Amino acid sequence: MSGCDLLVFGASKNTGLLVATLAAKRGEKVAAMVRAGSDASVLESIGTSIIRGDAFSLDDCFRAIETSIPRRVISLMGGKNQNGRRICAIGNIHVTDALLSYRTLEHFLLVTSMGCGEQYAGTSEKVKQFLGEALRAKTRAEDYLKSTTLPWTIVRPGGLTNEPATGQYFLSENPDRIHKGYLSRGDVAQAIVDVLNDPQWLNKAVSVQNAEKGE
């Protein structure tokens, strides 16, 4: 591979797949690291270069970067694997570690969720009960990334739906309760691509909310 515009971790489905699709439609050369056994047929159909690997392996993350030679990197990894291991912290930390020795990186965008980082203290006890483990793991990844000298941005979406994209989303360093919390994955994907291409968000954490006002 001669080099790509964008390397995506977590691109095989959901928001990550939509991000890869949007980037490909923009004419960008896209690569993705996909676990062995995961279906990459849709990614391949849009011209994505597939690198098989697992982010639980630091060596695989190094190999994905060395193989794809990306200008920019996005990680949307979250959840647990088939053995119940959570990828949110260790996988994203591995990607960060692999990028530390990669000198030509223009931008690394880490996607976590609202309620992470400094937002955790203000999160309701009900949310902490159901999502606390994931929020804490993603916060570990955020904190580690912030401690580096990488050109980073953290994107924190609110609750996600599979409804069609509306183009109505709101970006803010300080989310509020005026805007509706849920928005479509398509809108989040577009917000991610927009943030990736906007230098004003470098070295900042930005939340993505529905632009519509709640009742």
pLDDT digits (tens, 9 = 90+) for 169-181: 989 888 776 666 6
How confident is the model over 45-59, as a mean pLDDT? 97
3-state helix, strand, coil in the chain (%, to 5): 40, 25, 40
In sequence order, what are the beta bridge partners of 73? 7, 108
112 belongs to a structural domain: yes
Compute the distance between CA of residue 194 and CA of residue 206 in angstroms, rounded to an integer: 12
55 belongs to a structural domain: yes
CA distances from 55 to 6, 10, 86, 97, 101 (A): 17, 9, 11, 11, 17
Residues 6+ away with beta carbon under 8 Å from 158: 113, 114, 175, 181, 182, 183, 207, 208, 209, 210
For residue 127, the model assigns a pLDDT of 78
Q: Is residue 94's pLDDT more than 80?
A: yes
19 belongs to a structural domain: yes
For residue 177, the model assigns a pLDDT of 66
How confident is the model over 61-90, as a mean pLDDT? 94
Give the total number of structural domains in the chain: 1
155 belongs to a structural domain: yes
Parent domain of 129: 4-210
For residue 98, the model assigns a pLDDT of 98
Instruction: Using alpha carbons, select from 75, 77, 54, 73 the residue that is nearest to residue 134.
Output: 77
Give the global pTM. 0.94
Q: Give the pLDDT band of residue 155 (cuts 50, 70, 90).
A: very high
pLDDT tens, position by position, 11-49: 999 999 999 999 999 999 999 999 998 999 999 999 999
How confident is the model over 116-124, as a mean pLDDT? 84
Answer with the residue of higher pLDDT: 161 or 2. 161
Q: What percent of the chain has pLDDT over 70?
A: 95
For residue 213, the model assigns a pLDDT of 63
Amino acid (1-letter code) at residue 89: A
Per the listing, tokens 């109505």 go with 168
CA distances from 200 to 67, 112, 116, 173 (A): 29, 19, 21, 11
How confident is the model over 150-172, as a mean pLDDT? 92
Q: What percent of the chain has pLDDT over 90?
A: 73
91 belongs to a structural domain: yes
215 belongs to a structural domain: no
- Output the average pLDDT for the chain: 92
178 belongs to a structural domain: yes
How confident is the model over 199-203, as a mean pLDDT? 95
125 belongs to a structural domain: yes
Across 64-73, 114-123, 149-158, least confident range: 114-123
How confident is the model over 121-137, as a mean pLDDT? 83
**Is residue 55 within 8 Å of 77, Cβ to Cβ?**
yes
CATH of the domain at 199: 3.40.50.720
Compute the distance between CA of residue 118 and CA of residue 93 in angstroms, rounded to an integer: 19
